[in-house]
Structures are given as structure tokens and as C-alpha cells.
Amino acid sequence: MKIHNIAYTCLTQFCEKDLGEKPILQWIHKDLSETSFTYSDFETESNKIANVLESLEINNEDIVTIFLPRSPLLISSYFGILKRQAISCILFSSLGEDALLDRLSNSQSKILITKNSLVRKILAIKEDLPDLKAILVVDIDEHKDHFVLSLNKLMGEVESIHKYPHQLDPETPAFLQYTSGSTGKPKGALHVHGAIQDIIQSFKEIIQLAHDDTYWCTADPAWITGLSYGIIAPLSTTAASIQFGGNYNADHWLKILKDKNVTVWYTAPTALRMLMQEDEKKFDVVRSNSLKRIYSVGEPLNPEIYHWGKKTFGTEVYDNWWQSETGSIMIANHPGLAVKPGSMGKPRSGIDAFIMDDDMKPRPVGLQGHLTLHRGWRSMFRTYYHKEDAYAEKFHDSIYITGDLAYQDEDGYFWYVSRSDDVINTAGHLVGPFEVESALLEIDEIGDAAVIGVDDPLLHKKIIAFVVLPNDVIWDRTLELKCRIYISNKVSTVATPSEIIVTDKIPKNQSGKILRRVLRAVYEGEDPGDISTME
């Protein structure tokens, strides 16, 4: 059985049905000015980008990376890539050189689309990227050389029509979504065009938009929520949505909620926690407005935030749970299901979730274990790109092991407990401690380093780094700043530690593995427990 290309389902089909001129997305720029976009706008722009990629000999299953802040051209680029049946990979524009190198070298990306101010980051690592054929820059009018090209100029030289096969095998690769692991480099979860069936089904079942709703998903498209439910789901279901091109800003966000009469809002617990710190009077403008419900994803929505959100906005707040690997919402609260504050909710239709022990045997109700899913849903990742072994480790027979710990109550609701590995969920971003440690060890003054995540009321988890200094190095604010800036620019701003603590020695076992639980205990002033394996 064949299905439609995601680009056809989201754009082309509506242009064929004479809905091309329907305003479908209201783009709110950083300065709060607005531009309205129709299906035809995205169809035409993505056609040109597909033609540019064709002229650059980009073919089926080549990787094309988008390294842009959220923007309308990011959306057009994504669909242009899919029309070529190439594989799209959207990366956060905040990534530093080391993080970029890890992702671009793993994906063997052929083309990278970015903006002029970010080009320097790519040029700094260009020698280590032999597969990269060209950088397409969205905001220059002339090519810089044979490698750094003006996308505008190239788009001006091609047709605005692009013929592509609308139907394809559902297993055709569509996009890569990078996620951090507790050990080693980040992994690219590969998704297929068939994923759109689950994205649409879950959008209808959980988000439940009516024809007159105005929907706002605040997630960056580099985060899978922003791609699946910020772009694919609303476009493919003709849902009127808005997007904001700026970063978090409480005043801007509240103004948008009010002025745009947002009715359904999909955001993250960290954003709600940041809003919670604002003066209560600011919320008067949105308390009586059109907002009907809020959805939240990325970290657990603790009851305190749930109750604050419900009181402040006067509407229900629905938490849901899923991952880059799952491609669509797996467990959720939604209208029609009584909310238990703090709970993840229940699996959506077609999803089988179980709590298992370490031997992958079912755990009794109420007892904590590994949150697992029965494999086979359509938006499930198909591999970790070029890391088949890591993919195989995520499965036990037909069971996908999510890496999260949870329990199920007597009513069938799931409750998140923590990660089962060392990955740090900070402000909704997964940060691998290995990435931060590697960056720290690149600094001459750092002899050894270890990174942990500890509870934080704002970020869910905050990053704490422990460093060992050689004898002749003195720790001061200048060195601390050097470490912070280095991590921020080499890995990502979200990976910057909240605290850096100097210690004499990093606790490791006899095979050299960092004993993070000992560091966590030391940080929290608790008993580190059994340290018999410590070297």
C-alpha cells in the first residue's frame, strides 16, 4: 500500500483542491508585526527549493540539514527537501560547533541551509565534513564562493513548479531527529513518511481542534513537537495556526494569546514555570479571553504548575508524553478523560504501554519500572541513523524501552518518575552528560570533568558540572566564565551548567565509568550508598 508524501498531504493536495489561497498560518515576527501565509505560498517556495536541490543533484535519501531559527523559510525548506524524497534534518540554531560536527558528520549531510550569521560555525568545522557539498544561505543575495551559495539567487533561477511523485512507500525515510544519549554522541532518530498517519490521528484524538479554533504551538521545529504538531499536524488538517518567530518573552506571549484570540495552546512546563514568576496582574488580559485549553509536553507537569495554569488561565491544562523516537503523542491527558494532576494520562488509541522490571517482565500496578511500548505504531523511529547497534539496544523482542521510569495506577493512568539513564532533561531539552564533559575536557585548565542533572524548580533538571584542576591552575570567576562560554558556544546554550564545582577527584568505578549517583549524593548532601566499586 502506498501513501502520500508528507509534502503532498500538508501542501500540494490543498492547492489541487483550490484551497491554495486559504490563509493557513499567521506568522508573528520578532517585532510583533505579522505576515499571513497560504498553502500556495509554502507550495511555491518549497517547489523552488526542491528545484534548487535537484540542480545540486540532491536525490532520494540524501540528507539535507536545516540550521535556521524558526522562520517561514524553514517550513518551505522542510517541504522542499521532502519533495525531492531527500531526508530533512532540522537542527537548533543555538547549537555550537562541536554539537554541529557530531550531527553533521553522523548524518553525512550533503547540503546545509542556514543564515549568514551562522555560516562561520559551519566553516569552522568544514574540513571534517567531507560529504558537505554546499551551504545555502537564506539572507545573502550573491554567492560568496563555490561552497557558500545564495539561496535567494538560486531560487530566482529555477521554476516555481516542481513535479514529484505524490505517492510513495510508507517506509520511505522523511526526517531525522537528533536526540542525546547518556553515553556517546547524539543519535539521529530516523522517521518515515508513514509517520504522518499517526501524527494526524493523535492530533485529532488529543488536541481535538474545532474548525473555528486558533491554535498556537510554541515549540521550535528543531524539537519534534514543533515539527509534528507545529507544522505537519495543523497544515495537514487545515487548522488555522499561528507561529511566533521570537524567543520566550512573557509580555509578547501574553499579548499574542490575547490579540490573536488563541483558543488551543500547546507549550511546555518550563514556559509555564517561567510565566509563573511574572506579576499576577499581567495575566488579567488573558484570564477572560478565548483560550479553551492548554497542552504541555517536554517534562513532567507537576501539580503545582497544573493548578497555577488552571487558575491563571481559567482553563484545563493537559500534560502529554512522547519522545523524538516515538514521532507522535503516546500517552496523554485530553478532553473526555478526567485529569489526575501530575499524571501523564493514558495511552492514546492503538498504543500499548507497559511498566516492566529489569528483566522485561510486567510490574504490578503501583510499582515503578521501565516505561515500555509495544513496537509497531506508524510514527515509530526506524533506526538511529548509522547507529544500528544503539537502535537494537532500545528493544527487547517487540518491546521498545523508552529510557523513562514510571508507574501505572489502578485506574490505568501513567505517572512519570525519572529517566532510567543519565540523560538530563533541562527545560525540555535532552542533554547528554558526555557532550558537556567532552567540551570541558577540551579546555586546557580542566583536568577531569563529570556532569549530572539535579532537580530544579524552574528547569526540571539543572546541569551541575564537577571539574578537577591540575595543581598549577587556580579557579576563579574568569576561568568559570571561560568554561561557561566554551560549553555555550561549542555545545549549546541549554547545555551550560548552572553550577561548576571544583573537586579533588571524579568518582569512577574500576573500569573508569563515572559514578554519577555518588556525585548527585554529594551535591544533595546525602549518603552516596555503596561505593565498593569505586576505584
Partner 1 sequence: MGITEKLTEVFREVFDDETINLHEKMTADNVDAWDSLSHVNLMIAIELAFDIEFKQNEIQSFANVGELEKCINEKLIIKE
Site residues (CB under 8 A) for partner 1? Answer: 30-31, 69, 93-94, 96, 115, 117-118, 120, 246-248, 477-478, 480-481, 484-485, 488-489, 493-494, 496
CB 471 within 8 A of CB 462: no
Three-state DSSP class for residue 432: coil
For partner 1, give the closer residue by CB, 52 or 487: 487
| Integer CA distances (angstroms), 364 to 6, 264, 324, 354, in order | 40, 36, 28, 10
Cα separation, 116 vs 336, whole angstroms? 48
Closer residue to partner 1, CB minimum distance, 161 or 481? 481
Distance of closest approach, residue 487 Cβ to partner 1, in angstroms: 9
- Contact 384/188 with Cβ under 8 angstroms? yes
Residue 94 CB, shortest distance to partner 1, in Å, is 6
H or E element that contains 278: none
CB of 270 to partner 1, least distance (A): 10
Q: Name residue 535's beta-bridge partners.
A: none
Residues 6+ apart with CB under 8 A from 20: 14, 38, 39, 40, 43
46 versus 426: smaller Cβ distance to partner 1: 426
Instruction: Measure the CA–CA gap between 436 and 122, rounded to whole angstroms.
Output: 20
Query: What type of residue sits at position 412?
Result: G
Residue closer to partner 1 by CB (options 334, 461) is: 461
Sign of the CA dihedral with 514 first, then 517, 521, and 526 last: negative
Q: In a 3-state reduction of DSSP, which class is residue 164?
A: coil
Q: Is 121 helix (H, G, I), strand (E, B) or coil?
A: helix
Kindly state the smallest distance separating residue 201's Cβ from partner 1, in Å: 34
- Of 136, 182, 179, 177, residue with least CA distance to 156: 136
Least distance (Å) between residue 361 CB and partner 1: 42
User: Pick from 160, 170, 159: which is nearest to 9 by CA?
Assistant: 170
**CB closer to partner 1 out of 115 and 166:** 115
CB nearer partner 1, residue 170 or residue 246: 246
**Residue 292 CB, nearest distance to partner 1 (Å)?**
29
Q: What is the residue-wise DSSP string for 144-158?
A: SSSSEEEHHHHHHTS
Name the minimum Å distance from CB 216 to partner 1. 19
Please identify, using beta-carbon distances, which residue of 367 and 481 lies nearer to partner 1.
481
Of the pair 232, 242, the CB lying nearest partner 1 is at 242
Tell the smallest beta-carbon distance from residue 484 to partner 1 (Å): 5
The smaller minimum CB distance to partner 1, of residues 77 and 236, is found at: 77
Minimum gap (Å) between residue 115 Cβ and partner 1: 8
Cβ(46)–Cβ(83) under 8 Å?
Answer: yes
* Helices first, then strands: H and E counts in the chain: 18, 29
383-384: strand order across its sheet: 148-150, 134-137, 111-114, 63-67, 87-90, 173-179, 187-192, 383-384
- Of the pair 392, 485, the CB lying nearest partner 1 is at 485
Which residues, other chains included, contact 39 with Cβ-Cβ below 8 Å and sequence gap of 6+?
A: 11, 14, 15, 19, 20, 21, 22, 24, 235
Least distance from partner 1 to the Cβ atom of residue 117, Å:
5
Measured from the CB of residue 496, what is the shortest distance to partner 1 in angstroms? 5
CB of 96 to partner 1, least distance (A): 8
Closest to partner 1 by CB, 355 vs 427, is 427
Which residue, chain included where needed, has cell 499579548? 255
- Nearer Cβ to partner 1, position 31 or 410? 31
From residue 487, give the alpha-carbon distance in Å to each of 180, 435, 436, 441, 458: 15, 9, 7, 10, 21
d(CA 254, CA 260): 10
